[in-house]
């Protein structure tokens, strides 16, 4: 079977070139198709496009690159978890978190992940494949249409499954497209890219002229301790990651955020807090603490509420800007990545 073309991979000009060349359509028709794509329409819904053309387009192209197949909504805080199906049958998940200042959508950048972090469910089966730029966009489009004409996705975090910088070109292409006024016009300042610390790509990203926020999944500021929970730490040391983070701030002026998942007895002692404070000294950073979401396939346990607050107090005493993130959607959220796994296991 011939590979289908994901139309959301194209920007407006590329789509125009592609459709006018391949199907001999008028440029204004290409623009109509482009508008439909961002309304989350499938070909059959494109009512101002002729039926024969719709049929033709559907044969070798994909309009909805990510289709929502299941939504769970939290009774507590309105958080929504989505399962999406991709055109090849792969399934990914996403989360929409509702805050006072707007809705934040967490998107996936890969099916699976090859980074092997010991606490994470997304990496249990390794990397299945990269998502294309249009498949990352498809997640935003699919959720945005739930706003019924009003913008529903205000902020984006690249914190779903996958390591964004391990899929560098597609992710950068997505960042440029989604922030363009021809598409969803989401400001780059409202987008955060989270990485486990791929140093060369962090340095490269600093040169792209983007103003997206960078989040570093540090989780342990001590080299040996970090290696125990994050295999990537053997390749890039804590100090290399932190200096790449400093460089990102210097080049872009965007403050760096450090993610720190608290794991019982692993990274939550006073000396861990001290190491963390030392690692971020003289940096413009904020630390986001989150208690581990236990993953049933893994043995690690979450730090207790009391100890998490103690850890936070240590950091404050050491003059480090930090907050303990409240967990959202706890009633629908087995753990990060668990919705997809449950779905796959049940077949």
Active site residues: 93, 336
196 binds ligand SAH (CB under 6 A): yes
267 binds ligand SAH (CB under 6 A): no
At closest approach, how far in Å is the CB of 47 from ligand SAH? 38
192 binds ligand SAH (CB under 6 A): no
Residue ranges of the alpha helices (H) in 72-114? none
Residue with tokens 């929504």: 80
At 19, give phi and psi (nearest 5°): -70, -35
Please name which of 6, 50, 9 lies closest in space to residue 32, comparing C-alpha atoms.
Answer: 50
93 binds ligand SAH (CB under 6 A): no
Contacting residues for 169 by C-beta, under 8 A, at least 6 apart: none
131 binds ligand SAH (CB under 6 A): no
At closest approach, how far in Å is the CB of 165 from ligand SAH? 8
Residue with tokens 């910088």: 165
- Interacting residue with ligand SAH among 179, 195, 220, 252 (CB under 6 A): 195
d(CA 259, CA 240): 17
Tell me how many residues contact ligand SAH (CB under 6 A).
17
Distance of CA 314 to the CA centre of its chain: 30
At closest approach, how far in Å is the CB of 28 from ligand SAH? 40
d(CA 39, CA 219): 39
DSSP code of residue 298: S
CB nearer to ligand SAH: pick between 141 and 295: 295
Which among 71-79, 242-250, 288-296, 339-347 is the span making contact with ligand SAH, rule CB under 6 A? 288-296
d(CA 311, CA 303): 10
159 binds ligand SAH (CB under 6 A): yes
Q: Which value, to the nearest 10 degrees, does the dihedral of the CA atoms of residues 225, 228, 233, 234 take?
A: 110
119 binds ligand SAH (CB under 6 A): yes
3-class SS of residue 105:
strand
d(CA 180, CA 11): 9
- Interacting residue with ligand SAH among 9, 93, 163, 268 (CB under 6 A): 163
229 binds ligand SAH (CB under 6 A): no
At closest approach, how far in Å is the CB of 111 from ligand SAH? 13
120 binds ligand SAH (CB under 6 A): yes
| Tokens encoding 316 | 């404050």
Please name which of 101, 61, 104 lies closest in space to residue 79, comparing C-alpha atoms.
Answer: 104
At closest approach, how far in Å is the CB of 284 from ligand SAH? 19
- Interacting residue with ligand SAH among 93, 259, 268, 272 (CB under 6 A): 259
- Interacting residue with ligand SAH among 65, 213, 293, 303 (CB under 6 A): 293
217 binds ligand SAH (CB under 6 A): yes
Binding site for ligand SAH (CB under 6 A): 117, 119-120, 159, 163, 194-196, 217, 259, 261, 290, 292-293, 295, 335-336
């Amino acid at each position: 079977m011939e590979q289908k073309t994901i139309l959301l991979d194209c920007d407006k000009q590329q789509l125009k070139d592609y459709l006018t060349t391949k199907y001999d359509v008028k440029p204004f028709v290409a623009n109509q198709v482009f508008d439909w794509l961002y309304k989350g329409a499938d070909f059959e819904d494109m009512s101002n496009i002729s039926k024969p053309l719709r049929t033709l387009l559907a044969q070798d192209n994909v309009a909805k690159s990510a289709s929502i197949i299941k939504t769970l909504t939290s009774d507590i805080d309105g958080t929504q978890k989505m399962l999406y199906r991709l055109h090849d049958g792969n399934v990914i998940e996403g989360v929409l978190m509702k805050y006072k200042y707007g809705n934040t959508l967490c998107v996936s950048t890969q099916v699976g992940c090859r980074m092997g972090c010991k606490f994470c469910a997304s990496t249990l089966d390794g990397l299945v494949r990269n998502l294309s730029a249009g498949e990352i966009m498809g997640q935003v489009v699919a959720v945005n249409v739930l706003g019924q004409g009003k913008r529903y996705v205000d902020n984006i975090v690249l914190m779903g499954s996958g390591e964004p910088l391990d899929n560098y070109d597609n992710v950068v292409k997505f960042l440029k497209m989604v922030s363009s006024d021809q598409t969803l016009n989401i400001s780059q300042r409202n987008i955060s890219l989270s990485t486990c610390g791929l140093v060369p790509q962090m340095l490269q990203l600093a040169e792209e002229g983007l103003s997206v926020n960078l989040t570093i999944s540090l989780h342990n500021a001590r080299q040996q301790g970090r290696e125990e929970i994050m295999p990537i730490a053997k390749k890039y040391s804590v100090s290399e990651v932190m200096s790449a983070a400093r460089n990102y701030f210097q080049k872009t002026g965007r403050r760096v955020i450090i993610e720190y998942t608290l794991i019982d007895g692993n990274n939550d002692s006073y000396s861990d807090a001290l190491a963390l404070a030392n690692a971020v000294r003289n940096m413009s950073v904020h630390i986001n603490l989150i208690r581990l979401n236990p993953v049933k396939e893994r043995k690690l346990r979450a730090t207790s509420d009391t100890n998490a607050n103690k850890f936070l107090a240590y950091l404050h005493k050491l003059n480090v800007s930090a907050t303990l993130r409240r967990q959202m959607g706890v009633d629908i959220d087995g753990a990060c990545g668990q919705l997809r796994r449950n779905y796959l296991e049940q077949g």
